[in-house]
Chains A and B, each alone.
Chain A
Amino acid sequence: MTVEEQIREIMARITHVDGSIITRESTFKDIKADSLDVVQALVAVEETFGIEIPDEEAQKFQSFGDFVSYVENQVAQKERV
């Protein structure tokens, strides 16, 4: 599974929406994710990929795509070291 697919699955599990409606353009509101859902998704993603997403960064995510891109970058950086 790609990073994007794994995050989509986590998001869908937490918000109880059908994963297929989640696109890179979706906002958290589109996915029906409230602030608690977002924190729980952050925690689950951090654990899945062994990374830490600082709050300052997370607050910048406007869409699901922003979230995925950030994690993809972190994962790529981690693999490089």
Chain B
Amino acid sequence: MSLEGKLALVTGGGRGIGRAIALKLASQGADIVINFFRRRDTAEQTAKEIEALGAKAEIFRANVGDPAKIDEMFDMIGNKFGHLDILISNAASGVGRPVMDIDVKAWQWTMDINTRACLLCSQRAARLMEGRGGKIVSLSSLGSFLVWPTYAVVGVSKAALEALTRYLAIELAPRGICVNAVAASFVETEALRFYFEEQLGKGNLPITPAGRMVATEDIANVVAFLCSEEAFMIRGQTIIVDGGFSLYNPLFARERKD
């Protein structure tokens, strides 16, 4: 699998899963634009790591919840590179609250960043992919169909993102653009540690049937596959990468003890 000569934009690519994806694509030869929001330090660090792999790296600060900032980012890519081959819609934010405490502001913030940004970025990306085709992969979460404590607004934003993925896949197919999503369960990142330590207390990280936690690299591998020509016939799908977590039934725990 080679992405030599390709240009990829990874939103929220400075740290966590986005960083692993950026590094994976760069290791296959792609040049990377890393979008970040509040953490210039980690974005700069990741850019250095990409350059060490021999690829070009560019960082761009933009709140993807703000349509004007998305435009600025794509104007920059258009002016500087003139095209785009891969869009990874990875940036996400959210407000952890029970449904009864979700207000308009929390809803809007989450939807704007997690869902609307994917639409607006895909529209701009599709124009930069004109005549050459491309790949779009978004990052979803099992919380789109499972119910987790205080995850409602993010879960809903991800369910909408998966539906958007299906529509984009069909409507952008004539332009030679493959659109898919990857849904993670619990991947060891800062965000996750924060979430679980708040919900379950320190040290209580969930283990999957696969025997360990899902790592950021596990997600990056599947994203990279979806960006390859081998995945050409996969369209509009949300691929679950969870080490079997979502299929696991507590009955198995009893079986193991016997």
Residues of A at under 8 Å CB distance from B? 36, 39-40, 42-43, 52, 54-56, 58
B63 A56 Cβ-Cβ under 8 A: no
Q: Which of B33-41, B76-84, B202-210 contacts A (4 or more CB under 8 A)?
A: B33-41
Given A36-B105, A43-B63 in contact, is the A55-B95 Cβ separation under 8 Å? no
Chain B contact patch, size range: 10 to 19
B38 contacts which chain A residues (CB < 8 A)? 39, 42, 54-55, 58
The 10 closest A-B pairs by CB, nearest first: A55-B38, A36-B95, A55-B39, A36-B109, A43-B63, A36-B106, A54-B40, A36-B105, A54-B41, A52-B40
A55 contacts which chain B residues (CB < 8 A)? 38-39
A42 contacts which chain B residues (CB < 8 A)? 38
A39-B38, A55-B38 provided; 6 other pairs, C-beta below 8 A? A36-B95, A36-B106, A40-B105, A42-B38, A55-B39, A56-B41
The SS class assigned to the A binding surface is helix
Q: Does any Cβ of A come within 8 Å of B24's Cβ? A: no
Interface flags for B103-126 (1: CB within 8 Å of A; 0: not) read 001100100000000000000000
A39 contacts which chain B residues (CB < 8 A)? 38
Nearest residue, chain B, Cβ from A58: B38
Q: How far is the CA of A55 from the CA of B95 in the complex (A)?
A: 18
Q: How far is the CA of A54 from the CA of B40 in the complex (A)?
A: 7
Which residue of A36, A40, A52, A55 has the most chain B CB atoms within 10 A of its CB atom? Answer: A36
B166 contacts which chain A residues (CB < 8 A)? none
A36 contacts which chain B residues (CB < 8 A)? 95, 105-106, 109
